[in-house]
Structure 1
Amino acid sequence: MSFEEPYNLILNNISRFIELTELEKQKYLSLLTKITVKRREFLMQAGDITKYEYFITKGCLKVYTLDEDGAPHISMFAVEDYWTGDMASFMTKKPTHYFIKATEDSELLGISRLNYELLFQEIPKFEKFYRILYQRSLISYIRRSNHGISLTAEERYKEFKKKYPNVVNRITQKDLAGYIGITPEFMSKIITKVNQK
């Protein structure tokens, strides 16, 4: 059976880790909610309780916190075939500290907490899928934290370009600076330097 493109994308993502029957695929898709977010709109803001785990089928979003001075610290960019949200808020039902804002018109598929629990009851193998997803997320977070300590800003930029070649041309220099952890002016100098090599 063939599915619409957004559904094929999420099913292909899942099939990397678990195998589903046609009936299980249909059941899973029935538990998802389609969500659209326009460019510059918030999907989530600090203080909200995260209602969904999100999978991006189209677009680009940035996930960030604000420091005491109101400066953004971007923890990730989420594009097609990425998962995003705040797992801690989703699981504990406590307010998030994160903002998720669309940098492009975006389309997502979301699974609510209620449907998430229902999914585990009806298709237990999804526990394996989400365990792998969360483990990979944690590994990525630890690696990023270590890079923030051990790599120079230029090295972090090169690493970002290498790891996310499909993202680097879709975001502003200011947002990239917020991710690398430097000022936009310094970011500009690094980009110029790296591109001259």
Structure 2
Amino acid sequence: MIPKEYQGLFDNIGRYVTLSDSEKERIAAIVTLAPIKKRQFIDQPGYISLYRNYVVKGAFRSFFLDKDGKEHTVQIAIEDWFVSDFYSYITRTPATLFVEALEDAILLRMKYEDIEPLCGEIHVLSEYYRITTEKAFAYSRNRALSNLSMTAEERYLQLTSMYPGIVNRVPQKVIASYLGMTPEFLSKIRRGISGNS
């Protein structure tokens, strides 16, 4: 019997491929449920990322520090998203990102040493990871282009349009860092938008 907390993960997989009941049970057998406290790090620079993490509940951010100690947020993740230092996870090299819980959270964790051999045995699982990795790559490319071609206000409006729930849950300084601006400038944009509405 598969725990109810795993249903979101299997719904996510089911949007792209079809798993048999026995395949679901084999995947469920290698997944662990992990409660995470607010401000807890699940990845840190210098340590290899061990898990592919699916967010059941909560919000996370991935960020790095530049040489001046300034934070740069590269990913925000909420329910039904995956979060890790994926470069570290895939290449088995030390992480360069901090991955931090912004709220008390629950993760489903899949260890590299468990999931990779299973992908060799369950073809559709490998296909699922191929599809979602390609989608993540395409999103990263579009985000890079947006940062170069759109104004700060346009980037903020795009974020709120695509993910309206995020801005109410994630601290403004994290949103600003993700969008490549100061919190003060983001406040100015938000005041301007609310003044025009």
CA–CA distance in structure 1, aligned partners of residues 131 and 27 of structure 2? 17
Q: Deviations over 1:79-119 (max 9, x none)?
A: 10001112221122111111100000011111111111221
Runs of at least 4 residues of structure 1 off by over 3 A? Answer: none
Q: What's the counterpart of residue 157 of structure 1?
A: 156
RMSD: 1.2
User: How does the TM-score come out when normalised to structure 2?
Assistant: 0.96
CA–CA distance in structure 2, aligned partners of residues 179 and 90 of structure 1? 22
Shift in Å at residue 47 of structure 1?
Answer: 1.4
Work out whether 1:189 is the aligned partner of 2:188: yes
Q: What's the counterpart of residue 51 of structure 1?
A: 50
8 Å contact from structure 2 (residues 63, 99) kept in 1: yes
CA–CA distance in structure 1, aligned partners of residues 45 and 161 of structure 2? 30
Aligned residues: 196
Q: What's the counterpart of residue 72 of structure 1?
A: 71
8 Å contact from structure 2 (residues 120, 126) kept in 1: no
Gaps of 5+ in 2: none
CA–CA distance in structure 2, aligned partners of residues 176 and 87 of structure 1? 21
8 Å contact from structure 2 (residues 62, 85) kept in 1: no
CA–CA distance in structure 2, aligned partners of residues 155 and 101 of structure 1? 27
Q: Deviations over 1:43-71 (max 9, x none)?
A: 11111101011100000000111111111
Shift in Å at residue 10 of structure 1?
Answer: 0.3
SS of the equivalent of 1:125 reads helix
CA–CA distance in structure 1, aligned partners of residues 28 and 88 of structure 2? 23
CA–CA distance in structure 1, aligned partners of residues 100 and 36 of structure 2? 8
Work out whether 1:179 is the aligned partner of 2:183: no
User: How does the TM-score come out when normalised to structure 1?
Assistant: 0.96
Q: What's the counterpart of residue 143 of structure 2?
A: 144
Identity %: 35
Q: Deviations over 1:134-170 (max 9, x none)?
A: 0011011001100110111111100010011121100
Gaps of 5+ in 1: none
Q: What's the counterpart of residue 104 of structure 2?
A: 105
